[in-house]
Amino acid sequence: MDVEAQKAWSDRGWPKLSVWRTRAETPSLAREQPYLDTLPALIAGTLLVLAASGLVLAVYYDPRHPYASIGFIRREVNYGWLIQSFHQSGTTMLFGAVYLLLFRGILLRLYKGSGEFVWLGSVALAVVLLLAGWLGYMLSGGAVANASLMQASLSAEIWPGLPGRLAGWFFGGPHGPGTLARLAVLHAVLGVAVFALLLLLRAARKAAQPQAANPVAFHPYYTAQYFVAFTIFALIFAVFVFFAPHFGDNPLNAVAPSRLIAPINPTPPWFLAPLSAVRVLLPGDSGGVIAVLAMLGLLFALPWLDRSPDPTRRTGFLYRLVVVVLALDVLALGLAAACRPSPLAVILQIVFALWYFFHFLVLTPLLTAMEEK
Amino acid sequence: MRRLLLAAVLAAPLFGGFAPAQAEDTLSPLHFQSQSLLGGYDLAAVQRGFLVYQSVCASCHAASALHYRDLEALGLTAEQAGGIAAGVTLANGGHAGLEDRLKSPHLPGSAFSGAMPPDLSNIAAERPHGPRYIYGLLTGYLAAPAGTAVLPGHFYNRGFPGGQIAMPPPLKGNDVAYADGVTASLPQEAEDVSAFLAWAADPNLDARREIGVRAVLFLIFLSLLALATKRRIWRETT
């Protein structure tokens, strides 16, 4: 069968295929788009790796003996150590890409004008992934994860009213043998549901695409570009999987949980550390939750915190500088949370957390309004 | 091409860790091959360390994540590992087999005045800088400095957090006789058992790094190829 006959054959059974083919070969895209535009596709690819490796892990995982069953997967299952490493390092790659996506959105003011929905979709994606990432960390069953789950489920118990009842339903009561079984299901459901968010994000990105003056087709031009991005991403991924499989994890989480020993510093893995640090801003467990929600809520509100009325205007030097400072601030927030607990570490966390809120509530409206003049 | 050759020559020392197992001096200065970037386990040291574990540590500590069949990864044949297992008498009077877990002493906490010896299968991963920590602990028993009140049933150990440990000094030197002729001094035994426990905590490290080097080299070439392809395709745009 030659190529034309093959096309006719597949179009007869699946007409959509020729629609997709024509669309991919029709020049409609602007030239020389940056490599970082491939980030959503890289996130989708990482999520596929996580879903596939997570499926294998779920087959062998026993929520009643989490620590022992991760050990079983790493030691007894054929290539279980590799699949577990793919899943663990996959989260590092995933959140690296997600944080980079958000940083780039803020830096280049992609959240304005037609990019509003893309921005809201990206932030929603990040929030859902952070929740799924936290749940996955709980499933690792180490001493730190265990202590963190104990604290979260116990404080959920004592909350009054609807939030308490919702949280009680979420955890199924204080941390007991059934809690992890429940969280394993929620982790998997969120991990699959996030693909729906990716589809929404894709639709928003398409709608926000400007008309190109001298367009090129997706294939072969952008397929070649995506291939470069994917191989370089895979290269970094491989370095983490094979040479730093526990990157960014608290070393204490390698210890089996014990009822008698609480870890000195139960810091979560690196991608949750900034959120964990912001909790010190407000007192009490519910204060911590409110601080984290405010931190994420500010990202949602960003399109309206930017006071510049012209959505297409490029950002000025000062604005870019403070955005880079913000990125360093979030990094420092995570590092301060990972330090051994000390008065200095707490003061640093408060300072860095306050700077985060200062950036969004004062600097962003001020600078964007100033640069407009 | 010349640049590629240069890269290969520069990369060669990195692969030194894959050298075959042989009795080398790893004590002066103290180093563990597996702790370097691309290094693998020194299987001779790990085998000696298993002997120390079996004859000394196993009388109080369990290592229940390990099976006798896992010893085949140390370079032993199935017959040799089976022979080691057959030499172990279980609590029910029978002999262990390849599929059995390493024999646990099953002693009650009261035998240790409540200070239960921890399971050793993962200990090198559970302590910061595991192998060095274990070596420092095993060689850290000293006379208590003047003015230090040692608790009853404890021993002064500079390698243990807090300085006082309930475990009596386990190694005295010449606790075992090594088949490869290495002198079983106390530091040598401590180094070997640290190497064994490092292997026990991460038995897949060798395979991980071997696959990793291949994967990384492959992906470097693939990304260069992809980049060249992309540039060529874009050059043809009109």
CATH number of the domain residue B190 falls in: 1.10.760.10
CA dist A88 and A136 (Å) reads 9
Please check whether residue B209 touches A, CB under 8 A: yes
Which residue in the block uniquely carries the two structure tokens 């696959």?
A: B211
Sign of CA dihedral A186, A192, A197, A200: negative
Mean pLDDT of B43-54: 93
Which residue, among A69, A235, A241, would best test binding to B if mutated, counting the most B CBs under 10 Å from its CB?
A235
Q: Is A287 helix (H, G, I), strand (E, B) or coil?
A: helix
Interface check for A75 against chain B (CB to CB < 8 A): the answer is yes
- Burial status of residue A286 (CB atoms within 10 A of its CB: 0-12, 13-18, 19 or more): middle
Asked whether the beta carbons of A179 and A153 are under 8 A apart, the reply is yes
Helix-strand-coil split of chain B, %, nearest 5:
50, 5, 45
Look-up: residue for tokens 């030659």? A2
Range of the domain at B188: 2-66+101-142+169-203
- Please check whether residue A117 touches B, CB under 8 A: no
How many domains, in total, are found in chain B?
A: 1
Q: Find, in chain B, the residue whose alpha carbon is nearest to that of A74.
A: B204
Contact residues on chain B for A233, CB-CB shorter than 8 A:
none
Chain A / chain B CB contacts < 8 angstroms: 70
| CB atoms near residue B138 (< 10 Å) | 24
pTM above 0.95, yes or no: no
For chain B, the straight-line distance linking the first and the last C-alpha, in angstroms and rounded, comes to: 32
Q: Does B126 touch chain A (CB under 8 A)?
A: yes
Beta-carbon separation of B126 and A232 below 8 A? no
Nearest CA to A355 among A321, A330, A319? Answer: A330
* Gyration radius from chain B CA atoms: 23
Query: Can you say how many angstroms the Cα of residue A322 is from the centroid of all Cα atoms in its chain?
Result: 23
**Chain A residues 216-275 within an 8 A CB cutoff of chain B:** 216, 220-221, 224-225, 227-228, 230-232, 234-235, 238-239, 241-243, 245, 251, 254-256
Task: State the pLDDT at residue A198.
Answer: 95
When CB atoms are compared, the residue of B203, B207, B220 closest to A75 is: B203
Q: What is the band of B214 on the pLDDT scale with cuts at 50, 70, 90?
A: very high
Element of type H or E holding A164: helix A161-171
pLDDT band at B15 (very low <50, low <70, confident <90, very high): very low
Is residue B39 a part of any domain in this protein?
A: yes
Q: Which of A195-209, A320-334, B16-30, B218-232 comes out lowest in average pLDDT?
A: B16-30
Query: Do the chains contact at B204 and A71, CB–CB below 8 Å?
Result: no
Residue among B108, B117, B141, B127 at smallest CA distance from B53: B117
Report yes or no on B77 lying in a domain. no
Distance from CA of B173 to the nearest CA of A (A): 30
DSSP secondary structure letter of residue B202? -
Give the residue on A whose Cα is nearest the Cα of B36: A243
B10 pLDDT above the threshold of 80: no
Q: Cα separation of A205 and A116, whole Å? A: 10
User: CATH fold of A29-262, please?
Assistant: Cytochrome Bc1 Complex; Chain C (1.20.810)
CA distance A121 to chain B (A): 30
Q: Does B125 reside within a domain?
A: yes
Burial B182-219 (b: 16+ CB within 10 A, else e): bebebebbbbbbbbbbbbbbbbbbbebbebbbebbeeb
3-state secondary structure of B164: strand
Structural domain includes residue B226: no
Measured distance CA(A311)–CA(A109) in Å, rounded: 8
* CA dihedral for A235, A40, A110, A359, sign (positive or negative): negative
Evaluate whether residue B121 is within a structural domain.
yes
Q: Looking at chain B from residue 141 to 180, which residues have their Cβ under 8 Å from any Cβ of chain A?
A: none
Sequence ranges of the domains in chain A: 29-262, 267-373
B219 touches chain A (CB under 8 A): yes
Q: Are B16 and B180 in contact (CB under 8 A)?
A: no
Q: Cβ atoms within 10 A of the Cβ of A209, count? A: 14
> What mean pLDDT comes out for the span B6-26?
50
Question: What is the gyration radius of the CA atoms in chain A, in angstroms?
Answer: 23
Question: Of A282-291, B16-25, B138-147, B213-222, where does mean pLDDT reach its minimum?
Answer: B16-25
- Helix, strand, coil % in chain A, rounded to nearest 5: 75, 0, 25
| pLDDT tens series, chain A, 373 aa | 688 898 888 888 888 988 998 889 888 888 888 999 999 999 999 999 999 999 999 999 999 999 999 999 999 999 999 999 999 999 999 999 999 999 999 999 889 888 899 999 999 999 999 999 999 999 998 999 998 888 888 888 788 888 888 888 888 877 777 899 999 999 999 999 999 999 999 999 989 888 888 889 998 999 999 999 999 999 999 999 999 999 989 888 988 888 887 887 888 999 999 999 998 888 877 888 899 999 999 999 999 999 887 766 677 889 999 999 999 999 999 999 888 788 999 999 999 999 999 999 999 999 988 876 6
What tens digit of pLDDT does each residue of B50-104 get? Answer: 999 999 999 999 999 999 999 999 989 999 999 999 988 888 888 988 888 998 8
